[in-house]
Amino acid sequence: MKYTAVSEAHARYLRRVRRDARIVVLSRIALLFGFLFLWELGADLRWFDPFILSSPSRVIAAIVRLHTDGSLWLHIGTTLFETVLGFLLGTGLGALFAVLLWWMPKLNRILDPYLVVLNALPKIALGPVLIVWIGAGTASIVVMGVLVSLVVTTVTVLNGFLAATDEKQLLMRTLGATKLQTFFMVVLPAGVPDLISALKISVGMSWVGVIVGEYLVSKAGLGYLIVYGGQVFKLDLVMASVTVLCILAALMYYAVAFLEKKVRR
């Protein structure tokens, strides 16, 4: 009797899944190009004032001008360096702090209300204070990015650690496992999904912190370009900076999503 590796029903299901995936991708592309087309058309037909809302062609021209005068990559490099450094420090320290709080339950109970307050506090309000403490420079911008992602990472990862069932931890202790072995064999694997979620959240939060920091003190970077363009009414420069910022943030997010796929495998 001859057997096939995949049944006909399963093959139809796989074809439907692939077709749905292609439809999603094509719909995303169509939505993007449709938005750009309507934006450009609206500017050409004067549905709105292109001086205020710009247009795709004007944004591209502004990016080309920045590239021509050699300043584009300086501003991109400055903001990207500050964001990646703030992201890595914020998520790294937040994860370590979450491990410490899991390891010391009494300390967790003591600091829990303070974490709630710090998580609700708008970190942006600390910008002027950081400038006075650290100085008007790259360090204060990076610290702003760290603060924005530190607390949310700590809270998210700690919740993932605490979600590990007591039964599994009790079983490990019954088998003679140390607390360190219990952490690496039970608690840490259970907290990986929450750690990935914290990374995804921290990507956006780090960009927010760094851009706000550049609003306040920077002399280079995409945040500086946005502020400068608004002050001199070069709104094409503002929209061009925002466009580049969107692209960089999306690339960083998809890098974390790619890491998630590798970790889950």
- Domain assignments of the chain as residue spans, ordered by start: 8-48, 59-264
pLDDT tens for 30-79 read 998 998 899 888 888 888 777 787 888 888 888 888 888 888 888 888 88
Q: Is the pTM of this model over 0.85?
A: no
pLDDT tens for 115-148 read 888 777 777 777 777 777 777 777 878 888 888 8
> Model confidence at 165, in pLDDT bands (50, 70, 90)?
low
Q: For 59-264, give the CATH class.
A: mainly alpha
Q: Annotate the chain with three-state secondary structure.
A: CCCCCCCHHHHHHHHHHHHHHHHHHHHHHHHHHHHHHHHHHHHHCCCCCHHHHCCHHHHHHHHHHHHHCCCHHHHHHHHHHHHHHHHHHHHHHHHHHHHHHHHCHHHHHHHHHHHHHHHHCCHHHHHHHHHHHHCCCHHHHHHHHHHHHHHHHHHHHHHHHHCCCHHHHHHHHHCCCCHHHHHHHHHHHHHHHHHHHHHHHHHHHHHHHHHHHHHHHCCCCHHHHHHHHHHCCCHHHHHHHHHHHHHHHHHHHHHHHHHHHHHHC
